[in-house]
Amino acid sequence: MPGRGIPANTVSTVNKTTSEPYVGRFAPSPTGPLHLGSLVSALGSWADAKHHNGKWIVRIEDIDPARESPAATRQILDSLSAHHLHADNAVSYQHSHSLHYDLALNTLREQGRLFACTCTRKHLRALGGSSYPGTCREQQHPEEDKALRVRIDEETIQFTDLVCGVSCEDVSRSVGDFIVRRRGPLYAYQLAVVVDDARQQVTHVVRGADLLDNTARQIALQRLLHYPTPAYLHLPLVKDAEGRKLSKQTGAEPLDNTSALSNLRAAWGLLGQSCPPKSLNPSCEAFLTHCRVHWSRARIPTSNH
């Protein structure tokens, strides 16, 4: 997690209110069907966008074929539809945006920020430490069939999460030069998400708290690529009986699309929001109208961040 406190050499990114139209997004990876934790993120991002009269878009982050399930994209979209969470634009797919990622890599290359890295995960684990030690920084390896890392300067990045408050992180110390294109070549999550948020003019990123520690890296890339920095809001994690984040990897049950209203109630409650009385037994549409009107960032719990 990013560190707290504000060092003297901090460069601040303040999430300020502007007059630009709100654009939010839900960006699942197609590694399996949605579960309750996914629905919390989807509903929270939708409600924050709609409460602020904004646009809500859906982006399928399908740039990791080895982890993806062929049926998962359809399952995800069917679940969103069953829960009446409809995107305001056509669904976007990362696999079709390679040109944009290549252009961003070329910008970094022209800045002298990219370098090829031959280090394996096994090699880096043997070296110990939590950040990349700069092994290949000055080696000038050819790029072909190599991972590409971005050179990160020593700089403390401060940002204000709309729920979690102020966070600070010096990426050069906590992570080091990080990968922006993997071997394959496959585009890295950090690069793709930053490029797509800028390309789609996303103004607010509302997502699970497990991604909070990615934020400073993404802001570092935004600055290098001269992109605007959106506002960030990280939602509480849903955990299983053993205290683990609910996920496909821990065997989370897929959403039952025939119980959409019940699922929405459960997700809304986990977001700390007030539900209408069950005696009213509203439809999904009526329940989502309640969500749009009564959404409150102040009610979002912080204990599960």
Measure the CA–CA gap between 177 and 112, rounded to whole angstroms.
Answer: 13
Summarize pLDDT for 92-115 with one digit per residue, the tens: 999 999 999 999 999 999 999 999
Distances in Å between the Cα of 180 and the Cα atoms of 147, 189, 200, 265 are: 8, 7, 19, 39
What pLDDT, on a 0 to 100 scale, did the predictor assign at position 127?
Answer: 84
Task: Map residue 209 onto helix, strand or coil.
Answer: helix
Euclidean distance between the first and the last CA atom of the chain, given in angstroms as a whole number? 10
What pLDDT, on a 0 to 100 scale, did the predictor assign at position 19?
Answer: 64
What pLDDT, on a 0 to 100 scale, did the predictor assign at position 8?
Answer: 40
Whether the predicted model's global pTM rises above the 0.75 cut:
yes
Torsion 88-266-52-202 (CA) sign: negative
What pLDDT, on a 0 to 100 scale, did the predictor assign at position 244?
Answer: 78
Measure the CA–CA gap between 301 and 271, rounded to whole angstroms.
Answer: 7
DSSP character at residue 42: H
What pLDDT, on a 0 to 100 scale, did the predictor assign at position 16?
Answer: 47
DSSP character at residue 143: -
Distances in Å between the Cα of 121 and the Cα atoms of 30, 156, 192 are: 24, 26, 21
Measured CA angle at 38 (ends 32, 40), to 5 deg = 165
Helix (H), strand (E) at residue 75: helix 72-82
DSSP character at residue 239: B
What pLDDT, on a 0 to 100 scale, did the predictor assign at position 5?
Answer: 40
Torsion (CA) 69, 75, 79, 85 in degrees, nearest 10? 80
Q: Could you tell me which CATH class the domain 10-299 is placed in?
A: alpha beta
Low-confidence ranges of the chain (pLDDT < 70): 1-19, 279, 303-305
What pLDDT, on a 0 to 100 scale, did the predictor assign at position 185?
Answer: 85
Measure the CA–CA gap between 217 and 152, rounded to whole angstroms.
Answer: 9
Rg (CA), the chain: 20
What pLDDT, on a 0 to 100 scale, did the predictor assign at position 280?
Answer: 72
Task: Map residue 283 onto helix, strand or coil.
Answer: coil
Distances in Å between the Cα of 218 and the Cα atoms of 10, 15, 230, 266 are: 16, 14, 10, 31
**248 contacts 32 by C-beta, under 8 angstroms:** yes
What pLDDT, on a 0 to 100 scale, did the predictor assign at position 247?
Answer: 75
